[in-house]
Amino acid sequence: MGFKLPVADKLDGSKKNVPQNKAVIRQAEKKDAETVFQMIRALAEYHGEDAEFRATLKDVQRDGFGEHPIYESWLAEIDGVPWGLATFFLTYSTFKGKACLHLDNLFVKEDARGWKLGEKLLALVKQRALELNCCRLELEVHRENPARAFYEKLGFSETPDRVYVLAGENLKAPDFRNRAAT
């Protein structure tokens, strides 16, 4: 069950035409698994990471829409056509004693950029964080991603924390010694 938000009348200088109707932001359902999968794949392609993309439709069906979903997916649609996606999941801060919401994916199809769908999806994610009594909404952004300015405009700030990752062969290794950095 989603809520309706009007599509912006102007595109901040863009020459694109905004559809003269309303965007619907709604939670994705099992029947939307293929759409969610395709949008996640398109995001990987946008970032030039399609060679590393390993998720399958079955992964999305199981982990996003199975008996115990690990994450939520929300779609931005216009006239029933999906144009944007947000996926997120809960983490926890033992220091704060509260849940945190981690935005994993925010994607708007290229033809719809400038329609403020990303902002509307983020407003929904922020609302969910508040509903779930989260102490923060967090995300990771590639250094070269132009969306960094978008997030900063909306009030996100870069933290000085360094993120370390143990993945691939290093994660599978029986010990931690003499392993190459990932």
Residue 105 maps to a domain: yes
Residue 96 maps to a domain: yes
CATH number at residue 72: 3.40.630.30
Residue 179 maps to a domain: no
Residue 19 maps to a domain: yes
pLDDT tens per residue, range 31-46? 999 999 999 999 999 9
Residue 18 maps to a domain: yes
Residue 69 in contact with residue 93, Cβ under 8 Å?
Answer: no
What range defines the domain where residue 35 resides? Answer: 3-157
* Six-digit token string for 112: 């719809």
Residue 166 maps to a domain: no
Residue 112 maps to a domain: yes
pLDDT tens per residue, range 106-137? 999 999 998 999 999 999 999 999 999 999 99
Residue 83 in contact with residue 77, Cβ under 8 Å?
Answer: yes
Q: Is the pTM of this model over 0.85?
A: no
Categorize the per-residue pLDDT at 4 as very low, low, confident or very high, splitting at 50, 70 and 90: very low
Q: Output the pLDDT for position 8.
A: 36
How many domains are contained in the chain?
1
Residue 171 maps to a domain: no
Give percent of the chain above pLDDT 90: 68
Phi-psi region of 9 (alpha: psi -120 to 50; beta: other; left: phi over 0): alpha
Q: Output the pLDDT for position 128.
A: 96
